[in-house]
Amino acid sequence: MLSCNLYFAICYYMLASICHNYSHAVIMKETIEHQGVIESVEGRHVRVNILQVAACSGCKARSLCTSSESKEKIIDVFEDDAAMTYRVGEQVKVCGALSMGKQAVRLAFGVPVVLIVVWMLVAMVWLKWGELTSVGVLALILGAYFYILYINRERMARDFAFWIEKQSKTN
């Protein structure tokens, strides 16, 4: 479920940084928070179901945003003593560090854009290759980059970890 966690981090970082009027993704201090319901608890593995709602009705960038509909997402959270602390159906807040979202955006968008620009300049200006050859090799480079991310997904899962906070009774 790393891809879902990574996607969640990217979407909510972008939503929070672009839109000023939002009601479901909240940035308080240096965390991203989202309401969810616990779907299952197995040992220290908790699966939380969140409803990703596009709450950008007042956002000026909503026409450019791709999260214009509601989607259910399952977020995997690993916590010690989770089986004794959480119950299925319980309302919780799924939290992640804002820096985690920034790192996810850098890995998913920043590095590939830099690779594209640098490679195309090297291939077409310095090596004097044609467009078709340059783009073909670029596809191999990007494929290798995303494959490296894929094979390191377990290590990145530790870096892109979410945590759960119980809802207070007053909410």
| Token pair for 42 | 């197995």
- Chain segment 24-78, per-residue pLDDT in tens: 444 446 788 889 999 999 998 999 998 766 555 555 555 555 555 567 888 888 8
Place of tokens 């207070």: 168
Listed range (54-58, 78-82, 104-108, 128-132) with the worst mean pLDDT: 54-58
Please report, for the chain, the start and end positions of each structural domain, with discontinuous segments joined by +: 2-166
Q: Stretch 110-137: mean pLDDT, rounded?
A: 96
Evaluate if residue 20 carries a pLDDT over 70: no
Evaluate if residue 139 carries a pLDDT over 90: yes
- CB under 8 Å to 74, separation ≥6 — which residues? 1, 4, 39, 47, 48, 49, 50
Amino acid at 46: V
| pTM of full prediction above 0.75 | no
Listed range (31-40, 85-94, 95-104, 139-148) with the worst mean pLDDT: 95-104
Confidence of residue 124 (pLDDT cuts 50, 70, 90): very high
CA distances from 135 to 1, 83, 125, 127, 146 (A): 31, 50, 13, 13, 16
